[in-house]
Structure 1
Amino acid sequence: MADSFHSLTYHLIWSTKNREPWFSEEIQPRVWEYLAGIAHQKRMVPLCVGGYLDHVHLLLRLPPNLDVSKAVQLLKGPSSKWIHGTFPNMKGFEWQDGYGAFTVSKSLTPEVFDYIKKQKEHHRVKTFQEEFVEFLTRHEIDWKPQYVWG
């Protein structure tokens, strides 16, 4: 084959430190837009960014030369700095240390997109912790509470 081809789509999820509800519905769109802007600037393709009061979901396509952990670092660092500088009442804001990264097939991308867009409705009946455990279980990831909720 003369060239390289790739389709590397990920569903990334992480929460605020201690799952504190920092993101009021008023500021959510601004934070999601900022995260999408960082992704675009760093040569990622943001397909959908959303979340709820205490966490974010990003559906992204990554270039083949950018590993997932570096992508998360490129998103978390600048967004945290921007949040501190933009929202004076959020000086104590922090992201959690870890994250979840789940691959997404092309055929399931629309489903994940819709899932992210419907976070408010979804979290009327389920906490972030319940949601995240479902992702870990569905993807057959072994986990221990002390390493997830630390």
Structure 2
Amino acid sequence: MIWGVSFFLHFFWEMVQVPFFADMTGAPHWDVVWLCTRATFGDANIAIGAYAIAALICRDWFWAMSGWSRMNLSAYLAAGLMVTIILEYWATGEGQRWGYSELMPIFSWTGTGILPLAQWVFLPLVAVVVVKWMILGWLALREMNPHLSECNK
């Protein structure tokens, strides 16, 4: 669920931030959709990896369902941010994978865009809240409809 919810959230974010990347606003629509989809696969993989790191540290795969500790959230956010900083630094530098337009606000000490970093603070938090909401909703539905439990036997 983390991967799927993250995919949806990150795809939306990627499409919204198109004007902040060089040469994207003039590209054909389907080329932009394809580039954003590829980036989103990477984002969703980073999200599940960051979630797994937090799960290993707190020894609870379902940590998002229980009360969050500072350790869980710190590990989750730090893992995603570190990977993002490294990838953005490489991709806009030596990797020459993409560049920022003049609209992108940039951290001067890394040369990394602020929007990709904001993405990895805001969206992971939204993703775990949405997943928790979905699971709690499913559990409540199962309690209201006992026959649903029979289908799982």
The structure with the greater share of residues assigned to helix is 2
The structure with the greater share of residues assigned to strand is 1
Larger radius of gyration between Structure 1 and Structure 2: 2
